[in-house]
Amino acid sequence: MTVVKCFLLVLLLSIKTVSAEESGLTASQSLLKMAHAMQSLNYQGTVAFLRNGKLETMKYFHAAEKGIEQERLVSLNSPLREVVRDSDRVSCLFKSTQQIVIDHRPVVRSFLVDIPKNLQELSGTYNFEIVGEEEVAMLPTDVIAIQPKDNFRYVRKIWMEKQHFLPIKVVLYDLSGATLEQFVFTDLQVKDTLPFVDFKFSDAVNRSGRKSPPDSKAPPPIAQLQSQTSVEPDFILTELPPGFRKIFFTRRPIHNSDQPVDHLLLSDGFSAVSIYMEHKNSDMQPGLQSVGAVNSFSRIIDDSQLTVMGEVPAKTVRFIADGIKLKDADE
C-alpha cells in the first residue's frame, strides 16, 4: 500500500505543469509555440470580449484539420449572431433577421490575437518578456508582456495556458497603463476534433449583383504578406513610425455606394494601421476620433479626405496623417 502511495505521489509531482521559464523557453519561443497551437489544435470555450467599455460574451470554436482552420463565434446575448472565419473570409449571420454580412479580409487575422512568425524582426520595436504566472479560469498560465520600445504602439499582455500553449487572456494597455480592451476565456477545452461549419453563403450577392468569387489559395499571415496589388495609392507617406511597413493596398467601394476608396494597410507585426482616401464629403469631420482602442485621424487635402485608423495611440495616427502627401498628377 505504501509503495502505491509513493508511486502516486511521484506521479503527481512528475506531471506538475511547468512554466515556460522552468522549461527553458524564452518569451519569443513561447509566443511561437502559442501561434502554432492556435493554428493546429481543436479547442472551444466561452470568451468575453471587453471593447469600448462593453462586454460581449461568445462561444468560441477553433477547428483544424490538415492545415485548414476555421474560427467560429456564437454570441450568447443580443443581437444573436454567428461569425465564421474561413481563412480570409468572415461571414456573419444574424439569427433574428437572417441578415448576412460577408467580408473577404485583406489578410488572415484571428478573432483572438495574431502572432507574427518572425519575432526577431520586431526586436527593434518590441521587447518580449515572461513577467509572471497566474491562474485564469482556473488554468495555470504564463504571463508574457509585449512591451514596445517607443510610444507609437500599445502594450500587450498575453496569458498563455501552460499545458497547450493557448492564449487564454489578452489585454491591451494604453500608454498610461490603463486597460483599453481585452478578451478572456472563462473556460477552455481542447478536443481531438471539432466539426467545420459550412454556411451556404455562395448565393449571397452584393448590391451590384456580383457573386462571391470562389476562394483561391489562402493569403499568408500578416507578418509575411507583401503588397499584393499592382495599383498604387494616390498618396505617399513621408514619415512612418519605426517598424511599420506596407502590407496591402486596394481600391474598392466600401460605403453604401460605388465610390471607390483607397485602402492601404500598414503593420508593425502586432499593430495594424489603415489609411483610407476618398473624395471629400461633408459627413466626415476632420480631426481625432476614438472607438475603444482604435484611434483615427482625418484630414482634408485638396479635394480628398484621408483617414488614418488603427489600434495605436492617437499620436501615431496623427503622426502618420501629418506625413501624407498627395501625388502629383504626373507621378
Partner 1 sequence: MYEDLNQNISQFLDKELDHNEALSLLNEIQAQPEARSKLSRYEAISHAMKTEVFLTVRPDFSERIKQEIQHEPTYLLPARKLKEHKQFKRNHKILAVAASLAVVAVITVQGVNESPDKVKIASITGEIAQQPLVEQPSEFVSYKNETEHSPINAQINDYLQAHNSSVYTNGKANFQPYARVTAYSRK
Question: Which residues inside 40-69 make contact with partner 1, applying CB under 8 A?
Answer: 46, 48-59
Q: Name which of 7 and 151 has its Cβ closer to partner 1.
A: 151
Nearer Cβ to partner 1, position 27 or 171?
171
Enter the DSSP assignment of 79: S
Residue from 36, 95, 191, 245 binding partner 1 (CB under 8 A): 95
Residue 265: strand pairing partners: 248, 274
Tell which positions 4-33 bind partner 1, by CB under 8 A: none
Which one, 10 or 206, has the nearer CB to partner 1? 206
Told to check if 177 binds partner 1 by CB under 8 A, we report yes
What does the alpha-carbon distance between residue 256 and residue 290 come to, in Å, rounded to a whole number? 22
Among 76, 191, 236, 300, binds partner 1 (CB under 8 A): 76
Nearer to partner 1, 17 or 57 (CB): 57
Residue 134 near partner 1 by CB under 8 A: yes
Stretch that binds partner 1, among 34-42, 120-128, 180-188, 236-244 (CB under 8 A): 180-188
| 37, 294, 320, 324: which one binds partner 1 (CB under 8 A) | 294
Point out which span in 2-10, 118-126, 127-135, 234-242 binds partner 1 (CB under 8 A).
127-135
C-alpha cell of 281? 464629403
Contact flag: residue 102 with partner 1 (CB under 8 A): yes
- Measure the CA–CA gap between 211 and 329, rounded to whole angstroms: 35
Residue 241 interacts with partner 1 (CB under 8 A): yes or no: no
Would you say 272 and 116 are in contact if contact means Cβ atoms under 8 Å apart?
no
Report the C-alpha gap between 189 and 44 in whole angstroms: 5
- Write down the least CB distance from residue 1 to partner 1, Å: 32
What are the start-end ranges of the E strands in 228-322? 235-237, 245-253, 260-267, 272-279, 287-291, 294-301, 304-310
DSSP class per residue in 107-138 = SB--SS----S-GGGGTTTEEEEEEEEEEETT
* Number of chain residues interacting with partner 1 (CB under 8 A): 110
**232 contributes a contact to partner 1 by CB under 8 A:** no
Residues 6+ positions from 16 with CB-CB distance below 8 Å: none
